[in-house]
């Protein structure tokens, strides 16, 4: 059988996963009997909730007797570890660009990786049914971006298709719209090179992804570079240090649609899954027993942000979670490192772990997954990982693109400049302004909430890791102190009402609080200890019913990302399956002063 292996790359929300849905729907009508759900590739619960792709996944469609393996990659740079290893499995890419927004920062990140690997791009301009669509201009911007990223002449001679992925349409001529994706499939077969298929050579495959099944155990996914392997055949697993382990392929699988299909034998050129190889890690090689040769190990960019994870030690510890000890936490982090290639875990003390990842979102997705599994954990504020380059301290920097209504542009630019941002570009687009900055990664901690309130929720911001630059010096990312509970108990509406002029609250009446818990944000710079558990004294004259008339400002609801962005250096976020609380590292007010 002939193969084509392609990755779909794009910025967040430009329609990658929807395009795959369309491709599946149009080829699956051939009687494979599979129902295609909307955004079928986003199978993870968090992916469906947030509308983003976190894990790269593969599927396959058949068209004209050719099997097209499709890998759906994440658009967020935080999941760049996913992107880097899957690009090694493919020979070409579909670059998907929004017809109105044009190429965005995270398009740049994945595209740079793809061009460096010499992949052949096909540009698909999606959402051309938008009222503000500007397809010709977007194609020019995409060409400029590729040229800037060092694309070869062959890569710059890319075919262009226009699509409405949601309606399952893709075609090459704007003036001659089609009702299906036939032209897209034809372009893939004609443009993307077929993989070299050397079936008679010794078997060789690098592990690019890991999966797990309760029935089959660990499943390794990768592209077969050469040779073939049968069910039950013995193979060598070549580890990163060069040592080998003899093991056996229990069951090979190929992909079609959303299903894994059992196969007697799999061969070169195909993207396959093998069960039975229990000790495999990402980047290692599964090779022939008689003639084992290792493939180059997959390398992934280093982490840029770290946090300290600890078991929960607050007065409410153990009340809401199932896994609460440091042993549980250590086991869970060890398991995560096996499949999450861009994560690093280092044990600082027996009950303290430094977890480093590619960004706040990368780490917050891990925390959200853990709390849903029943873990209780407390984490410190995120910190950037610095490097020593030529004897000087360097820090990670981001390429930031902001799109705001014209009237808010100057105040946003002012705040970013005070956080050591360098203005690169500014252009007007109708009534909105697009501003580009190069800014230290740590300057963006806590900026999102401030940005949304400054622009009244109308601003859009996107950023992507852009290398290292000399340390930019100290600056303030948080202007206000915290309101900290000085008494334990249940919060009363009366106390919150009395304290409203001191700041904004994160809690509602009847919330259980403990001493040292952060209950709100102070209107001034320093922290303030407050008692929210004090009720009004009732007398013959003042009845309990009079409380009903209290006019309380609605509390600020803190999501996990908001909490991680908000906390200061002396604070922690307490994360349990039922709650997200903010607290001081030292709970007792007297001890904090010391």
Query: Residues comprising the binding site for GTP?
Result: 13-18, 126-129
Closest residue by Cα to residue 235 from 283, 264, 282, 275: 275
DSSP-derived letter for residue 10 is E
DSSP-derived letter for residue 257 is B
Cα separation of 200 and 291, whole Å? 13
* Phi, psi (deg, nearest 5) at residue 72: -95, 120
Residue 9 CB neighbour total at 10 angstroms: 29
3-state class of 369 per DSSP?
A: helix
Q: Burial, 159: exposed, middle or buried (Cβ in 10 Å; 0-12, 13-18, 19+)?
A: middle
Long-range contacts from 182-186, C-beta under 8 angstroms, 24+ separation: 184/23, 184/124, 185/23, 185/27, 185/63, 185/64, 185/68
Strands 503-505 and 259-262: unpaired
Residue 360 CB neighbour total at 10 angstroms: 21
Question: Helix 105-116 and helix 80-87: axis angle, to 10°?
Answer: 30
Cα separation of 502 and 520, whole Å? 9
Beta strands in 11-148 (DSSP E): 57-63, 66-72, 92-98, 120-126
Q: Write the DSSP assignment of 139-198 as a string of letters.
A: HHHHHHHHHHTT--HHHHS--EEEEEGGGTEEES-TTS--SSSHHHHHHHHHHSPPPP--
Q: Which residue has the tokens 């920097």?
A: 397
Do residues 408 and 271 touch, judged by C-beta distance below 8 A? no
Cα separation of 53 and 43, whole Å? 9
Closest residue by Cα to residue 479 from 510, 511, 513, 454: 454
Residue 151 CB neighbour total at 10 angstroms: 21
Bridge partners, residue 465, by sequence: 398
Cα separation of 324 and 150, whole Å? 50
Q: Write the DSSP assignment of 459-523 as a string of letters.
A: -EEEEEEEEEEE------S----EEEE-S-EE--HHHHHHHGGGEEES--TT-EE-TTEEEEEES
Q: Could you list the residues known to form a binding site, using ranges.
A: 13-18, 126-129
Encoded tokens for 559: 């999501």
């Amino acid at each position: 059988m002939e193969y084509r292996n392609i990755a779909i790359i794009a910025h967040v929300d430009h329609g990658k996963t929807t395009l795959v849905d369309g491709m599946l729907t149009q080829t699956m009508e051939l009687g494979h009997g599979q129902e295609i759900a909307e955004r079928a590739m986003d199978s993870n619960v968090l992916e469906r909730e947030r509308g983003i792709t976190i894990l790269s996944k593969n599927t396959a469609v058949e068209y004209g007797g050719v099997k097209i393996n499709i890998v759906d990659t994440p658009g967020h740079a935080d999941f760049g570890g996913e992107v880097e290893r899957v690009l090694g499995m493919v020979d070409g890419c579909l670059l998907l660009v929004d017809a109105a927004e044009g190429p965005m920062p995270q398009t740049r990140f994945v595209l740079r990786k793809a061009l460096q690997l010499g992949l052949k791009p096909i540009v698909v301009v999606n959402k051309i049914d938008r009222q503000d669509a500007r397809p010709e201009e977007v194609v020019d911007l995409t060409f400029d971006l590729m040229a800037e990223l060092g694309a070869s002449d062959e890569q710059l001679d890319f075919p262009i298709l226009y699509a409405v992925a949601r309606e399952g349409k893709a075609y090459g001529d704007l003036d001659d719209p089609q009702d299906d994706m036939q032209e897209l499939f034809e372009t893939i077969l004609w443009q993307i090179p077929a993989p070299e298929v050397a079936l008679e050579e010794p078997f060789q495959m690098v592990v690019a992804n890991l999966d797990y099944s309760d029935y089959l155990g660990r499943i390794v996914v990768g592209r077969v570079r050469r040779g073939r392997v049968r069910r039950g055949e013995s193979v060598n697993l070549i580890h990163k240090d060069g040592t080998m382990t003899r093991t056996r392929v229990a069951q090979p699988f190929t992909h079609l649609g959303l299903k894994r299909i059992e196969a007697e034998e799999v061969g070169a050129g195909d993207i396959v899954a093998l069960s039975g190889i229990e000790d495999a890690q990402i980047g290692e090689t599964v090779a022939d027993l008689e003639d084992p040769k290792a493939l180059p190990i997959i390398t992934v960019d280093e982490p840029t942000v770290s946090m300290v994870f600890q078991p929960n030690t607050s007065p409410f510890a153990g009340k809401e979670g199932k896994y609460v000890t440091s042993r549980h936490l250590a086991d869970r982090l060890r398991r995560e490192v096996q499949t999450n290639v861009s994560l690093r875990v280092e044990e600082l003390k027996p009950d303290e772990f430094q977890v480093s990842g590619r960004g706040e979102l990368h780490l917050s997705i891990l925390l959200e997954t853990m709390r849903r599994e029943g873990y209780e954990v407390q984490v410190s504020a995120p910190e950037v990982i610095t490097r020593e380059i030529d004897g000087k301290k360097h820090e990670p920097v981001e390429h930031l693109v902001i799109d705001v209504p014209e009237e808010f542009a100057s105040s946003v630019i002012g705040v970013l400049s005070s956080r050591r941002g360098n203005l690169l570009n500014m252009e007007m687009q109708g009534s909105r302004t697009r501003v580009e900055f190069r800014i230290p990664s740590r300057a963006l901690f806590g900026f999102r909430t401030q940005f949304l309130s400054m622009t009244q929720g109308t601003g859009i911001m996107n950023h992507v890791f852009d290398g290292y630059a000399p340390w930019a010096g100290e600056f303030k990312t948080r202007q206000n102190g915290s309101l900290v509970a000085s008494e334990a108990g249940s919060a009363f509406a009366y106390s919150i009402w009395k304290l409203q002029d001191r700041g904004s609250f994160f809690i509602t009446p009847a919330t259980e609080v403990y001493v040292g818990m952060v209950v709100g944000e102070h209107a001034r710079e320093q922290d303030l200890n407050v008692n929210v558990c004090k009720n009004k004294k009732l007398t013959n004259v003042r009845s309990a019913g009079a409380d009903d008339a209290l006019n309380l400002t609605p509390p600020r609801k803190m999501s996990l990302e908001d909490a991680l962005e908000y906390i200061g250096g002396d604070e922690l976020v307490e994360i349990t399956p039922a709650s997200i609380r903010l607290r001081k590292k030292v709970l007792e007010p007297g001890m904090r002063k010391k």
